[in-house]
């Protein structure tokens, strides 16, 4: 996904929200999933609050216009997980890809959201 985002002139960040997660654990996650893009830790949850995220993983897509960043999507990456611990062999809907595809055409997009399935961001206030 990050290479497709780069090809579309989009910035893609992987955000880690657990302020106590060791750097070694983050590096292991990046190696396991072959992620080579930009990474940051949001231990104070500034981005979490801006996006309205409540679980991880959860995607947020912002556009940048004259008034600054605008949230246009928040939710699941795809529908692979129907519930915690219940996964399909492959996703049937790729929500994040659909939003990115729409944005890449230059079309305007209204905010939409889907329910993300994941672990609750425990220390979110």
74-120 residue pLDDT tens: 999 999 998 888 888 999 999 999 999 999 888 888 999 999 999 89
Q: Specify the pLDDT at position 92.
A: 94
Query: How high is the pLDDT of residue 52?
Result: 94
pLDDT at 66: 80
Q: What is the mean pLDDT of residues 118-123?
A: 86
Fold exhibited by the domain 2-120? Glutaredoxin (3.40.30)
What is the C-alpha to C-alpha distance for residues 45 and 77, in angstroms, rounded to an integer? 20
Average pLDDT over residues 38-43: 91
Residue 60 has what DSSP assignment? E
Half-sphere exposure of 20 (CA within 13 A, CB side): 3
The tens digit of pLDDT for each residue in 43-61 reads 899 999 999 999 999 999 9
pLDDT of the residue at 83: 85
- What is the three-class DSSP state of 48? helix
């Amino acid at each position: 996904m990050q290479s497709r985002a780069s090809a579309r002139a989009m910035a893609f960040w992987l955000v880690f929200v657990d302020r106590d997660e060791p750097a070694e654990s983050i590096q292991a996650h990046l190696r396991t999933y072959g992620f080579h893009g930009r990474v940051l830790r949001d231990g104070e949850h500034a981005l979490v609050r801006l996006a309205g995220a409540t679980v991880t993983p959860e995607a947020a897509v912002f556009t940048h216009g004259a008034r600054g960043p605008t949230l246009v999507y928040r939710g699941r990456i795809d529908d692979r997980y129907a519930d915690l611990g219940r996964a399909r062999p492959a996703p049937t809907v790729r929500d994040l890809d659909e939003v990115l595809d729409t944005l890449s055409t230059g079309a305007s997009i209204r905010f939409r959201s889907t329910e993300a399935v994941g672990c609750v961001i425990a220390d979110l206030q």
